[in-house]
Structure 1
């Protein structure tokens, strides 16, 4: 059972957590975009979550877009593990927290990723309304933060204030000195009402559920995938903004002095040569095959069983960035039609 407290303002909580920790929060850049920013000491700007999931998720804060893994000087390997200071991610949406839980499983044995996770306190927030283009409720998600996926949870309550939910021991220890009063008992009913509200706003999402059913039944003809492939520019926009995509490639280069630096960089399964083998055989030689593979990773039965959830959290970012209009709604609509 979550512990619930009354909170006079998120800003007070943020200032408290900033004592001894770096705090990052999603902020508008003044040009229509939103980005994670390091907050200066004493930052007093009001906490205001973005109106829809920004194109930059929390993924690159843990799975770096490019990072060194080791060096080799010809005789000895030297690890390049990052030095991480305690950090707070303040105001992570439920869908991005769900994506992080997915990545936690994928990178469970990766020390670079896990070092960052162990040092990060996650403060999530409940969505009281659906974001534009969001469909989290259709893919097994929720606008409410899962208590296993955050340390603290912020939510606007029906009394014009805030409720703070404590979801982990780390979260409880982080706020112990605040001595916050207990929240009124109606917070659970209010959360249920928020969930019902978002479900109503998102609607049945019939094209999403029908498309998922078609993928899991393997009933989509190859010709239809190839037609979708004609729309794919191989730009990697969707895989870059997707919070659950985790493909990477090795990159090696000589440093001054002759040592070999081994890095990993984000890659995309939609690139022509991503699956090309040393023999020159390519099991995904056509754009249609690559598009099919991508969506089977998001909604295929095998991946859902392995990770306990779909590889899509319903954030709608791919719909925003795809120049060929084959984000989630575009693809699911096309493959679910007779």
Structure 2
């Protein structure tokens, strides 16, 4: 029946964009932006304020297009942190390197047991992207990915060392207070309208290719022995794994690159359930308004209360209303 949300199904969307026809238990939300319910909803609550220093918004989102790629990203505080007056521990940074046409990105998930992992996540993302931009400007054949991870790890050590050269005690303190996972990489348009993706990680956040409603993992938990498989188990920065290696793959013109934290990956599972259905419908083409991704990501589902962060990248020809003939990539100019 239209207008009625049935438990066990992802709530349908009204014409004009994603929305819920049901809201979490106890909520008085109305209108097209009320929270999307997936299956059994979580209990509604009013978020408590996080610590004021440093400032961490409950929700952030961004979106833009280069001549050949379209970016949408969002990060939302999980219900557990909202109810516990804790900050959002995820972070994300994305930047365009105009001379090469590449996008550099980083997604981080602060370790829950580290009291200032939200600071570590922010430092790791910004440092990784800044280092990638420097290396792209040096006209290297490929970035030095070990250097990228080492630079991010070093910034966490410097945070606790307060400007002096970090020692072993600082490393121990950084692991205890600032530990964070990190997925970082680049996306470059290809000549046939696809995307060349290279990424590396420290920890257990992940990446997928969304195509024809299916979510194909790009990173595996175990090391298969292949040269292009990245595997770092759950070793988080500032610790580094000797097994961490970059993965390079080419996504087809109808593929979408997704990079996300566990708060998205765990409820997604293998992509065949209700959460996969929701995002497959919502991200086949780029949402015209970046806040739509934040709305999708903030779905309500019982027991799933972690922070959620997701970066999505499409070839620009997938943007609704764009001229599909104009999406042939080359360089930034």
More strand by share: 2
Q: What is the TM-score normalised by the length of structure 1? A: 0.23
Higher alpha-carbon Rg = 1
More helix by share: 1
